[in-house]
Amino acid sequence: MTGKKKHSEGEIETVAPAAMGTAEWQAEFLTQRRLDKARISARFAGKTLDNFSARDKGRKMLVHSAQTYVSGFNLNKEAGGFPVYPKGLLMTGPVGCGKSHLATAILRGVIEKGYSGLYYNSPDLLRDIRATFQPDSDLTEDDLLEEVTTVDLLVFDDVGAENATGFVLDRFYLIINERYEGCKPIIVTTNLNLEELENRLGKRILSRMLEMCEIFGPFPEEDWRRRNLR
């Protein structure tokens, strides 16, 4: 951010606020840049762990687990000379129970700690992959997949909401398997239960997801959007 200082008639010099260039300012600038690149939509940009209302025991537990996950997230941890990678999270629950809210809030928390992050809901990811096939696309499919597979934390929202064609399963396998091999965590959210997810995605994908992720929940059965309608 810059300010304007007037010297004499017509002469304006751009001046930097005192904080600019300090280590704190630079860290904030870099965090904001990582947040801007994370693709968190306008709807979820303001969702945090603080504004997830948790008056009941179940939701309190969810917020506590989310806080613990963010504070424990570390890609450079070692034990006995070997790297220890954070697990991902698998969030299952009905529509409106708060999965996307908590997943994006966790992503924000991890980005604020200095890691890179990316949010994609699965239909949008498939749309963006298909868009790379257009002759006028500036991005190749490989560039997009590279970003999705190497970012420190990927939120893959609403898995199972897409039509599971051969093309879709092939791309999902590639993404999950690359992250699995690279020990890169993923937060998966879905409205399907594990059996339905396995029927939709197949054993190969689900089995890797389960090894990579802890089950995060249980989420409340209630659709938050309908809470005042009863």
Facing residues of 157 across strands? 121
What is the total count of residues that contact ligand ADP (CB under 6 A)? 14
- Between 33 and 62, how does the x/- string for binding to ligand ADP read (CB under 6 A)? --------------x----xx-----x---
Q: Does 149 bind Mg ion (CB under 5 A)?
A: no
State which of residues 92, 100, 121, 122 lies at the interface with ligand ADP (CB under 6 A).
100
State which of residues 99, 108, 179, 184 lies at the interface with ligand ADP (CB under 6 A).
99
Kindly write down the DSSP assignment for every residue of 143-190, as one continuous string: HHHHHHHHSSEEEEESTTSS---HHHHHHHHHHHHHHHHTT--EEEEE
Taking the least distance from each CB to ligand ADP, the nearer of 100 and 122 is 100
The Cα–Cα gap between 53 and 63 comes to 9
Q: Cβ of residue 103: shortest distance to ligand ADP, in angstroms?
A: 8
Taking the least distance from each CB to Mg ion, the nearer of 92 and 100 is 100
Q: Does 86 bind ligand ADP (CB under 6 A)?
A: no
Q: Cβ of residue 55: shortest distance to ligand ADP, in angstroms?
A: 9
Q: Do residues 91 and 104 make contact, with C-beta atoms less than 8 angstroms apart? A: no
Taking the alpha carbons of 213, 216, 222, 224 in that order, is the dihedral positive or negative?
negative
Q: Cβ of residue 98: shortest distance to Mg ion, in angstroms?
A: 9
Taking the least distance from each CB to ligand ADP, the nearer of 144 and 155 is 155
Closest among 116, 112, 152, 118 to 38, alpha carbons compared: 118
Contact residues: ligand ADP, CB under 6 A: 47, 52-53, 59, 93, 95-101, 224-225
